[in-house]
Structure formats: C-alpha cells, structure tokens
Amino acid sequence: MAKKPPFEPKRVARLSPEHFLNRELQALEFNRRVLAQAEDKSVPLLERLRFLCIVSSNLDEFFEIRVSGMKEQIKLGSASAEPDGLSPPDVFARVAAAAHAVVDRQYELLNGEILPALAKEGIRFIRRGQWNAAQQEWIKGYFFREMMPVLTPIGLDPAHPFPRVFNKSLNFAVELEGRDAFGRDSRAAIVQAPRVLPRVIRLPKGVAQGDNDYIFLTSVLHKHVGELFSGMNVLGCYQFRVTRNSDLFVEEEEVKDLRKALQGELPQRHFGDAVRLEVADNMSESMKGFLLGQFGLEEADLYQVNGPVNLVRLMSIPDEVNRPDLMDPPFNPGVPKALAKAEDLFEVIRKGDVLLHRPYQSFAPVVEFIQQAARDPQVVAIKQTVYRTGTDSVIMKTLIEAARNGKEVTVVVELMARFDEEANINWAAKLEEVGAHVVYGVVGHKTHAKMVMVVRREEGRLVRYCHLGTGNYHPRTARLYTDFDLLTCSEAICGDVNEVFQQLTGLGKMTKLKHVWQAPFTLHSKVLEAIENEIKHAKAGKPARIVAKMNALLEPLVIEALYKASQAGVKIDLIVRGVCALRPGVPKISENIRVRSVIGRFLEHTRIFHFRNGAEPLVMLSSADWMDRNFFRRIELCFPILDKKLRARVMNEGLAPYLEDNTHAWEMRPDGTYARKRRGKVAAHSAQDELLGKMTRGG
C-alpha cells in the first residue's frame, strides 16, 4: 500500500460522529436532487429525459468506484475510520436501500410520465406488442441483415462455461428446452450484444408513423432470439447488465514506468469484481439466482427494472430528434468588451487581468490564448497541466503545433485522471513524438491544478503570461459546467505558477509562494487560518463572514473549524453542489451555518472561497474542493483575485445570485436531507437564468 502523504495532519476527532454525515449517503442525496429535475414539469421535456439519464450515469460511477470500495472494506473486515462512525456493512445496507429507492423512482417516472409525454409529442418508443405488420417485416429484415451476423450465442455446458461479461455491457440470458444438433441438453445460453449495434434504432420513413419513432435493440432480439437456437424452444429471454469495480490500482511507488503500468491495467477495468446486477423485471426467479451466483452477488445487489437496463442509452435522443421547442433555448456565450475586437490577447492582458465566467462567457479566449502563443514568433515556451481534455482536443492539437513550431513545450499530463486515462496516454505519446517535454506529475499525487504559462520575449526581456482556472481544458464541458478563468501577467501570480511548474518537472525543496495557496503544502493550513481569522474578528465584535462555493465538503478538520466559527458568531453560507458531511443548523454547533445546493441547467463546478477579512475582502478561486484528497493527495492551486473590479464580479456573479436563488436551490436540513427552496409570493430568482440573461447573446 502507498504511504500516507507526509503533508496530511494528524486528525483528532473532537466532535461526536453524530455531527458528521456519511459521504456515500450524501452522494445519493445529490442524485435525488438531480432526479428532481427530471420530475419538474417546468423543465423542458427532453431536458427531463436527459436528467433521468444523468442519474443513471452518476449511479454507474457511484457503483464502479464508491460501492466497490465499500465492498472491498467489508471483504477485508476493516473497521470504519470515517468521521461519521458508521461501519462499512452498516453504510452498505443504507446505501443499498437508498439506491434501490432512487432506481425505482427513475423507472416509475420514465414509464409513468416521461415516455407518455414524449409520445404525445411524436417521440415514440414502440414496444413489441405495438408493432404493425410493416414494422414487423422491416424489423425482421433488420435482425437478419444487421444483427444476426454479429451475434454469438453461447450455450452453457461443460465445454462452454459462463462467458466473461464486460463491465456495463448489454447481455441476454436465454432459458431453453430441447436438444441441439449435437444432442446437448443445455438449459441456458448467454447472448452478448456487440458494441457495434445501436441500443436505440430509429425506424425509417415508410415504416415509421412519425418522424421520431424508435425501437430498442432489446425488443428486436427478444422477438427473434429463437432464430439463434434452431429447433429449440425458448422459454424466456431476459436482458441483464453487470457493473464492476473500475477503480484502477497501480502501486505508483513501485513501478518504473507509470504509463506502461497503466496501459497494462486498463483492459482489466472491464473485468473487475462485480458490484451490481441489473435485470429486466420479468426475469425468472431461477435465472436471477443463477446470475447472482455467477457474479458472486447477493440479493441486495440485484436491481430489477421495468424498461432498458441502461437508461444512459437514451442520452443521445434529445440531440437526435430535432425538437428545440422541447429543450433549453440555445445561447451564444458572451465575450468581455476588452476582448471583443482585440487581435492581440497579450496586449489586452498587459493592460489588466481578464476574467471569464463560463458558460455564460466564451471559453474561446482561453483556446485563442494558447493558439496565439503557439504561432507567435516572440513566444519561446509554453507550459500546461492536463487533467481532462477529451479525445479530440483543439488545445492538445495546438500544443503539438507549438512544439512543431520550435517552442519549448512542457505538458504535465495526469495519467490517473479517472476514466480519461486512455485519452491522456494517447495525447502524451503524440506530444512526445513532436519533441514536447511530457511529465506525469508527482507519484502519489494527482495533478489537478488548471494552469498554463506562456513565456514571451518583449523588448529584450522575458515576460510571463498565465491562465488559471477552476475547470478543465475541455471545450465541451465548458458549455455545460460553470467555471471561472483568469488570464494575467501579474508578476507575483506568474512567479508563483512558475515555481509550481518547477516543482512538477524538476526536483527541489518547496518554496514559499507569494499569493497562491497550493495543495498538498499550504492549501489546508491557509483555509484553516482564514477561518480562524474570521473567528478572531467575530470575537472582537467586528463583522465576520464566510461564503464558500464548491462541489464537495468532507474534510473533518475544516468542518470542525467551520463549526467553531459558527459558535463564535461568524455567519457562514456554503453552496455545495454535491456531497457535504457538515450538518448545518444544529443548536450550539452550527446555528450560523446554512448549506444550499443549486441544481439546474448547468453543472455547478466553480470553487470560490470568500472571507470577509476585515476591511480587505479575500476572494479566492480554486481547482480544489474541501476534501481530503484535494488537500493532501493532489496538486491543486487556490489563487486570489487581486483586481477589485474583478473581485466584485466574482462576488456578484459567482456567489450573490446563488444565495438569492429560490428556483433551483435546495437547503440542507440538520439530518442531511434537502428541501427545495420555495419562493411563495416572493419574486422568482434563478442564478443560472439571470446570468444567462445578463451575460449571453441569445440563440
């Protein structure tokens, strides 16, 4: 096992476990809030379908990573060291009950509301019993033409053991009777659906009764599965899907080449230990028992569903059907006035820092910043961190172009970015081919900081320009996630960024940074100091205030510090999108703390930390949440907004609207459950809608 990071402080539990909420149960609370978007009739219909799919995608990762880890703990008999004090078996029992409830509600909503509403709008998913003669004939031809040639039924007998089933793949368990051509009396077979087959099939014109008539692959196979077992009687055909442990394990301290080790480990992700079995609700009891036995699972791991076993397969439908009237209205991201007509970004940045607020403002200036650097003859070097960029990244192609243009290009690629490992390995190889310097950060610490540094020769001297952000360099998510970007040539900030790059690419002692808080060295202690500073102000009778926005709040010492601040009279507002282990509003513990979560059209991803700090407000943007991993096991940056006008913008755009939101906000109760904020007779306020109205240019 890897050693404990030397920067992690010793934890002394001063508060009762009752004052901390469980991480896994809070993750499911978050998914209930996402599911509520699918329930909300004021949300456009196709967006409701999309939210339903997002819940399924979230649950997939939850089982692949969190539940699999829980099961490992149970298998090893480990006692809980978590602040909430719950044992792994107790957590698993509660998680299983809560997850089953979420899934049951998903399918109840799908069948009872969303599919009927889509049908009224001419978007139909036609079941087998509804096919007319013409449709049946076309579907039969489709089966023989497109499906049967690529299907491989596997009869289960001593010569054909149960096949290896890929993680999250679509499969069918078939119950049979009779003897085959060789006289074998097999009672069951498995049919695996190849990835090349679409899971949802649009019926062509002439067969369809409307423009958007669909059938499921599962329905086609159910109808014609007998063609795969000539002369035998099919008693039942049931779809199933198994979810496996997908957390890669590489002992980083013991491998000589992390990239090669990961390349060897990635294929095994598909065949980790099973953690969940999803089956059609019509599956026979005998087949359910058989499959559970094959995968080493218990009844609590079984999820029976009335519909497709993978709702994620419906994620593409909103973009396929061409019904903009059933979707969120399109918009064009705005551009700051300083950049609107500028041809030279470096000249603009020299005049003053530039702040971008995604997705309300365009991510294009960040891409343009790197593109100009790649082509500018005065630029001598570009350094960048890469966590997630996607498989077709303009930015990565630009860095390759920069290296070909003779620039000194250094890229810190995080190979252990979960589910992006393969894409990052491929980009690393392409960068090395053109002579870029590629490093993989620091063993045992993921490089999660978002930073670019450009070195440019100006009037005989070298000048540094930097980009720092709260989100990834990923153009697609830039339109879906809320984030801030800072472009600056501040010598102090750029000097700090340079020091961090020196740490990542070279060797040497930690150096003191002037403005930037860095994990794993100073971020945790600086956050605690800032909280303690507010406590001192409150005790002195001065104004004291903390407003923090993040994705997750779990680190025990920070939670304890916030409780202490509340008891001292500091007013604290926490805007936490996802999991939060802190209990707000507990008498004598957290009476001055409010926790809210905003779930809307965009994924709230911005990390903003505001401390009243007497007469000089401290406003920090960060790549890090307040979690153990971000403080102690990652390279993270938390950087100040020094310009007063930009600081006011962060407050007025990133915090104030979210504290006023009474449309998409949820308030946390002391028991960890959430209640949707009801506006009553008060005017409606939606942070995301208001920012869209103020900052974008319409569709």
Is the CA virtual torsion 404, 407, 408, 412 positive or negative?
negative
Q: How far is CA 644 from CA 186, 490, 524, 649, 674, in A?
A: 76, 14, 25, 9, 35
Residue 584 to residue 581: CA distance in whole angstroms: 10
- Other beta carbons within 10 angstroms of residue 196's beta carbon come to 7
Q: Half-sphere exposure (CA, 13 Å, Cβ side) for 598?
A: 28
State whether residue 385 is helix, strand or coil: strand
Q: Under a CB-based contact definition with an 8 Å cutoff, are residues 44 and 327 in contact?
A: yes
Q: Using alpha carbons only, give the angle 113, 119, 122 rounded to the nearest 5 degrees.
A: 145
Q: How far is CA 595 from CA 11, 14, 573, 577, 674, in A?
A: 24, 22, 6, 10, 9
Surface-to-core class of residue 195, CB atoms within 10 Å of its CB (0-12 exposed, 13-18 middle, 19+ buried): exposed
Q: Are strands 517-519 and 608-611 parallel, antiparallel or unpaired?
A: unpaired
Of 419, 474, 416, 422, residue with least CA distance to 450: 474
Q: How far is CA 360 from CA 286, 654, 691, in A?
A: 54, 11, 7
Q: How far is CA 552 from CA 577, 601, 624, 628, in A?
A: 7, 19, 9, 10
State whether residue 318 is helix, strand or coil: helix
Q: Under a CB-based contact definition with an 8 Å cutoff, are residues 318 and 50 in contact?
A: yes
- Other beta carbons within 10 angstroms of residue 377's beta carbon come to 10
- 437 noted as active-site residue: no
- Other beta carbons within 10 angstroms of residue 406's beta carbon come to 10
Q: Half-sphere exposure (CA, 13 Å, Cβ side) for 427?
A: 30
Structure tokens that stand for 160 in this block: 């054909």
Give CA 684 to chain center in angstroms. 29
- The residue from 222, 445, 448, 605 that is catalytic is 448
| Spatial CB neighbours of 149, under 8 Å, sequence gap ≥ 6 | none
Q: Half-sphere exposure (CA, 13 Å, Cβ side) for 357?
A: 21
Element (H, E) at 674: strand 674-676
Give CA 123 to chain center in angstroms. 29
Q: Which residues have a catalytic role annotated?
A: 448
